[in-house]
């Protein structure tokens, strides 16, 4: 159970006499009058637990009475009958703990009063241009009134500076939710591995996997599931998931679950037939070694770049071993000779957002890993349709192995360890599938 009030107090302590403005995420139209499923803004939800659209939270630690203000949609019997329940003004106070609540349509009239006498406004200039303009409008209007003795805020601070640093370090209750998101997705991946058969469509495997995740209590996938067989496995963000899975091809699945707005993010690659070919095995072992090398860097005091550096070194050593690259490992790394086959980074932060908040460099230096940070470790190798002749033997092989990793006091904890990734474990799980199918 997340203690949102405790989070707000911790945050307000850190913004001092500043005021934070946190708007709800906009809704997006899918087609005509149909909306995409609503996903609350992570910053707003992190501090309030409020998940409705058309809302704004204001945190004003300097205010004597109203430190937490919510602007929300008022109750409306007809609208609620059609579109779902609303907390309304009373719910904002009683269920979400707001000191004051106003209808959202009073935002322009009421919000500026909470900015008087305040030095800094904390706000995320990210993506909502319309709301950016409103914030600027309030500040400009206040600055026009300074001759009347009003003090207008003169510092704009992005929520990246304080709030995103808090979100980067996961508390034990957040880790518990992320662990659940990881376990549910792991169960989905195991199900995919143990039901895939040659001749199936990619979406049939996607359906098995997503069924297990939703049935297991996830809100749904944390991002669009990638289920790609054969050459589709060499397309990093393949999303059609519609082709036939052929005997002899690899299947790459990159899919995670969302649990109370916390994400998991897992990739596994396995043979459609249940048995790796010799060429697939050679490449798979390189990627697995690279992941092990990268995991070895996941400990407090190591820098974010060390994880990628270890993966790249092992990938290059492997490509030399496979005869795909020729030369000295250090030179090949310096020349980025691996980029045609390994073109993405090894890690990103993971949390409420799949590519979670938190800057990667501090003062120009890659930041040090600390206990409570969660990152993915996901090296890969891809030999696409236009692979050069040196790698012709591996053409059509796309492999990525991705786990979610919590940095602990003495090392790391792999949250997604319940999905097999060693070759014999994968083949063992898939053999049970054939045995079950063969039973009378
Ligand atoms: Mn990822």
**pLDDT, mean of residues 73-94:** 97
Sheet holding 403-408, edge to edge: 374-377, 403-408, 411-414
CB 241, CB 203: distance < 8 Å: yes
Distance, CA of 60 to CA of 57 (rounded, Å): 10
CA atoms within 13 A on the CB side of 171: 11
Question: In the structure, what pLDDT confidence band is assigned to residue 403 with cuts at 50, 70 and 90?
Answer: very high
CA 201 to ligand 1 center in whole angstroms: 24
Residues with catalytic roles: 33, 237, 254, 265, 344, 348, 355, 378, 382, 400, 402
Per-residue pLDDT, 21:
98
**pTM for the complete prediction?**
0.96
Q: Which helix (H) or strand (E) holds 107?
A: helix 107-110
CA 148 to ligand 1 center in whole angstroms: 53
Report the percentage of the chain scoring pLDDT > 90: 92
Residue 429 backbone dihedrals phi, psi, to 5 degrees: -65, -40
CB 329, CB 313: distance < 8 Å: yes
Residue 391 backbone dihedrals phi, psi, to 5 degrees: -110, 20
CB 411, CB 304: distance < 8 Å: no
Per-residue pLDDT, 289:
98
Distance, CA of 250 to CA of 240 (rounded, Å): 17
The 10s digit of each residue's pLDDT in 56-75 is 999 999 999 999 999 999 99
Return the structure tokens found at 85. Answer: 């329940």
What are the structural domains, with CATH classification, of the chain?
4-166 (3.40.350.10), 169-438 (3.90.230.10)
CA 376 to ligand 1 center in whole angstroms: 6
| 235 CB burial (10 A radius; 0-12, 13-18, 19+) | middle
The 10s digit of each residue's pLDDT in 129-155 is 899 999 999 999 898 888 888 888 999
**pLDDT, mean of residues 6-14:** 97
Per-residue pLDDT, 137:
94
Residue 122 pLDDT exceeds 80? yes
Per-residue pLDDT, 440:
56
CB 136, CB 152: distance < 8 Å: no
DSSP string, 229-240: EGGGGGSTT---
Shortest CA distance to 399 belongs to which of 182, 188, 197, 254?
A: 254
Per-residue pLDDT, 145:
86
Per-residue pLDDT, 45:
98
Shortest CA distance to 70 belongs to which of 114, 116, 38, 16?
A: 114
Give the DSSP letter of residue 169: S
**pLDDT, mean of residues 149-175:** 94
Residue 282 pLDDT exceeds 70? yes
Distance, CA of 345 to CA of 68 (rounded, Å): 40
Cα torsion 20, 21, 24, 26 to 10°: value is -140
Residue 208 pLDDT exceeds 80? yes
Which residues keep their CB under 5 angstroms from ion ligand 1?
265, 376
Per-residue pLDDT, 62:
95
- What's the mean pLDDT when you consider all of the chain? 96
Report the percentage of the chain scoring pLDDT > 70: 98
Per-residue pLDDT, 439:
62
The 10s digit of each residue's pLDDT in 178-206 is 999 999 999 999 999 999 999 999 999 99
Distance, CA of 191 to CA of 430 (rounded, Å): 10
Return the structure tokens found at 402. Answer: 């991705």
Q: Which residue has the tokens 């929520």?
A: 159
Per-residue pLDDT, 411:
97
Q: What 3-state class would DSSP assign to 208?
A: helix
Question: In the structure, what pLDDT confidence band is assigned to residue 293 with cuts at 50, 70 and 90?
Answer: very high
Return the structure tokens found at 181. Answer: 């998101």
| 238 CB burial (10 A radius; 0-12, 13-18, 19+) | buried
The 10s digit of each residue's pLDDT in 230-280 is 999 999 999 999 999 999 999 999 999 999 999 999 999 999 999 999 999
Q: What is the bridge-based pairing of β-strands 155-157 and 220-221?
A: unpaired
CA 401 to ligand 1 center in whole angstroms: 10
Question: In the structure, what pLDDT confidence band is assigned to residue 438 with cuts at 50, 70 and 90?
Answer: low
The 10s digit of each residue's pLDDT in 304-362 is 999 999 999 999 999 999 999 999 999 999 999 999 999 999 999 999 999 999 999 99
CA 131 to ligand 1 center in whole angstroms: 30
Least confident of 18-27, 119-128, 259-268: 119-128
**pLDDT, mean of residues 205-209:** 98
Distance, CA of 392 to CA of 412 (rounded, Å): 37
């Amino acid at each position: 159970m997340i203690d949102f009030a405790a989070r707000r107090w911790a945050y307000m302590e850190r913004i001092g006499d500043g005021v934070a403005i946190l708007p709800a995420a906009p809704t997006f139209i899918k087609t005509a009058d149909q909306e995409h499923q609503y996903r609350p803004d992570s910053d707003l939800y992190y501090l309030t637990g409020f998940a409705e659209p058309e809302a704004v939270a204001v945190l004003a630690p300097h205010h004597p009475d109203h430190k937490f203000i919510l602007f929300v949609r008022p109750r409306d019997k007809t609208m609620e009958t059609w579109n779902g329940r609303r907390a309304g003004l009373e719910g904002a106070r009683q269920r979400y703990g707001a000191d004051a609540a106003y209808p959202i349509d009073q935002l322009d009239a009421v919000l500026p009063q909470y900015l008087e006498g305040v030095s800094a406004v904390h706000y995320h200039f990210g993506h909502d241009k319309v709301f950016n303009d409103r914030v600027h409008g309030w500040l400009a209007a206040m600055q026009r009134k300074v001759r009347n003795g009003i003090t207008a805020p003169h510092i704009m601070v992005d929520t990246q500076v304080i709030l995103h640093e808090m979100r980067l370090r996961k508390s034990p209750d957040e880790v518990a939710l992320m662990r659940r998101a990881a376990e549910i997705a792991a169960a989905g991946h195991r199900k995919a591995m143990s039901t895939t058969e040659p001749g199936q469509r990619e979406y049939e495997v996607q359906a098995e996997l997503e069924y297990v995740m939703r049935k297991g209590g996830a809100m749904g996938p944390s991002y669009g599931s990638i289920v790609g067989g054969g050459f589709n496995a060499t397309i990093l963000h393949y999303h059609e998931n519609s082709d036939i899975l052929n005997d002899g091809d690899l299947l790459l699945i990159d899919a995670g679950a969302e649990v109370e707005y916390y994400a998991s993010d897992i990739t596994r690659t396995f043979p459609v037939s249940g048995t790796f070919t010799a060429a697939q095995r050679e490449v798979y072992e390189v990627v697995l070694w690279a992941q092990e090398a990268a995991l070895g860097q996941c400990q407090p005091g190591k820098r974010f770049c060390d994880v990628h550096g270890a993966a790249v070194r092992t990938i290059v050593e492997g490509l030399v071993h496979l005869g795909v690259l020729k030369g000295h490992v250090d030179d090949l790394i310096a020349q980025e000779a691996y980029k045609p086959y390994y073109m993405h980074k090894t890690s990103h932060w993971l949390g409420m957002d799949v590519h979670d908040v938190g800057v990667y460099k501090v003062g120009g230096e890659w930041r040090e890993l600390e206990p409570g940070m969660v990152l993915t470790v996901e090296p890969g190798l891809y030999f696409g349709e236009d692979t050069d002749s040196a790698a012709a033997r591996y053409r059509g092989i796309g492999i990525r192995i991705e786990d979610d990793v919590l940095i602990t006091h003495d090392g790391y904890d792999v949250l997604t360890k319940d999905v097999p990734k060693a070759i014999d474990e994968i083949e063992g799980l898939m053999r049970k599938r054939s045995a079950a199918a063969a039973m009378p």
